[in-house]
């Protein structure tokens, strides 16, 4: 369930970045917005991976 919620939030976090392109913000190129999106994905993968790994270890140690 946590991973599904995190995936939905990841997609929602793309909205402000993509709106930079839609509103023709000066300096917002396809490459710069792509880098922002990539940073969101890397942060998401790191956070979800760490939290699910640590949660799994805690459940094993507690049992």
Query: Which pLDDT tens digit goes with each residue over 1-59?
Result: 889 999 999 999 999 999 999 998 899 999 999 999 999 999 999 999 999 988 876 65
pTM: 0.80
Inter-residue contact 39 to 27 (CB < 8 Å) = no
DSSP string, the chain: -HHHHHHHHHHHHHHHHHHHHHTT-TT--HHHHHHHHHHHHHHHHHHHHHHHHHHHHHHHHH-
Q: What is the pLDDT of residues 38-53, one digit of tens each?
A: 999 999 999 999 999 8
Token couple for 17: 């970045």
């Amino acid at each position: 369930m946590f991973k599904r919620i995190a995936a939905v939030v990841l997609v929602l976090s793309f909205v402000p970045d993509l709106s930079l392109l839609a509103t023709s913000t000066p300096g917002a190129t396809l490459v710069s917005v792509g880098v922002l999106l990539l940073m969101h994905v890397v942060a998401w993968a790191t956070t979800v991976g760490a939290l699910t790994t640590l949660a799994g270890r805690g459940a094993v140690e507690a049992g």
